[in-house]
Structure 1
Amino acid sequence: VRASARPRRRKSKRAVTRDILDRLIATCQSERLADTRDLAILLLAFASGGRRRSEVARLRLEQLSDEPDVLLNPDDKDSPRLPCMAIALGRTKNTQADDDARALLIGAPVTAMREWIERADVKKGPVFRAIDRWEAIDDRALTPQAINLILKRRCGMAGLDPVEFSAHGLRSGYLTEAARNGVSLPAAMRQSQHRSVQQASRYYNDADQALGKAARLAI
């Protein structure tokens, strides 16, 4: 007798879409170092294409480089300019160490990253580090599990059920939000570094179904 295949479960029950992200960000508004760090983690992980928690945990200062400011609206030369930062991704689940893959941060995520790096006095090595109760900063990098726990803690502070979310929700949330905002699938995949069109397009299909007319015929 052959065992039936288990249905594939999503790594996070709910995607961290922009509305959810805004609620998490709202919990990081004090002057505490942990708030500054967690704000940078949340914005970087989401805006850089939904980076995996392992990538966020092992991010090093040497991977970051400031880029020239960019226009808020690329089609309007008089548009305000926003800060820009590049992340050299190095080896990820979908790339090799010698790949030149990178992701860009623009605007608020760059500001948050710069503030954390300055306040934590990060000169080299791991960007995101543990902070004790006296706000002393460890030299060692946070673990991937710590990144996940930070997201869950922020969910609880925002009045959300932490059981419904995991750090992977930032990855699925990025693609879902990209689909909702009309970002092309290839452009979103360049930022997220998804190699599988089938996997990435699943989030686009879900968004199209929710926004389309087919499910609204009985309204």
Structure 2
Amino acid sequence: MAALLKSTRDIALLTIGFWRGFRGDELASLTIENTHAERYIGIKFYLGSTKGDRQNIGREYKTPSLSKLCPVEAYLNWIEAAGLTRGGVFRGIDRWGNISDRPLAAHSLIPLLRGTLDRCGLPSEIYSAHSIRRGFATWAASSGWDIKTLMDYVGWSDMKSALRYVEPAQQFGGLIRKLEG
């Protein structure tokens, strides 16, 4: 039971983290009360404060339902399997399958991510919680997103900050060379 719960949670954490380009602290801050998911439609998250929210006014983040690796389905599967109705979305699970009442701490996401990658046979030591965000930014750039769309979607206000997350080979048609030159 514990292994199934952990797998379901980890799939939700990775798919939501990737498709939203969330940082670890944003994933750790998600609450059920501020998340609205509709199967086959999409998911909305409200975060009252984030690193990029200098005025502390909060922001809503939306992600559509997808046909593969869907964050909406992953979220609903996790919430249903865990029987959660309020509080933090992502929580610790002990070896007996007991789910913590408290949300995961942002610093605990790195060992969680590395453990998941280890179980998949991937080289985990080179990854951190920011790797999820970086992966999304690189995927978006290689999929034809323009820098403005990516910045708006993820919540970056500074282009140089955004470009630090995109692998150099995928950076928007040499835009980084223009900025640095």
**TM-score normalised per structure 2:** 0.83
Q: d(CA) in 1 for partners of 2:34 and 2:6? A: 22
Does residue 83 of the first structure (1) align with residue 41 of the second (2)? yes
Give 3-state SS (helix, strand or coil) of 2:100's partner: strand
Structure 1: which 5+ residue stretches go unaligned? 1-29, 70-81, 213-219
Q: d(CA) in 2 for partners of 1:165 and 1:208? A: 19
Q: d(CA) in 1 for partners of 2:86 and 2:35? A: 11
Q: d(CA) in 2 for partners of 1:156 and 1:205? A: 23
- The one-letter amino acid paired with 1:54 is D
What is aligned with 2:35?
64
8 Å contact 1:130–1:141 — kept in the other structure? yes
Which has a greater percent of helix? 2
Q: CA RMSD in A?
A: 2.4
Give, in angstroms, the shift of residue 113 of structure 1: 0.1
What is aligned with 1:147?
109
Cα gap change, 1:161/1:31 in structure 2, threshold over 3 Å: closer, same or farther?
closer
Q: Deviations over 1:24-82 (max 9, x none)?
A: xxxxxx9710000000000011101x211111112111221235x7xxxxxxxxxxxx3
Selected match of 2:146 from 184, 204, 207:
184
Higher relative CO (CA 8 A, sep ≥ 6), structure 1 or 2? 1
Selected match of 2:134 from 165, 172, 175:
172
Give 3-state SS (helix, strand or coil) of 1:139's partner: strand
Q: d(CA) in 2 for partners of 1:153 and 1:210? A: 33
The alignment-based identity, stated in percent, is: 34
Selected match of 2:163 from 192, 196, 201:
201
**TM-score normalised per structure 1:** 0.70
- The one-letter amino acid paired with 2:29 is R
Cα gap change, 1:199/1:66 in structure 2, threshold over 3 Å: closer, same or farther?
same
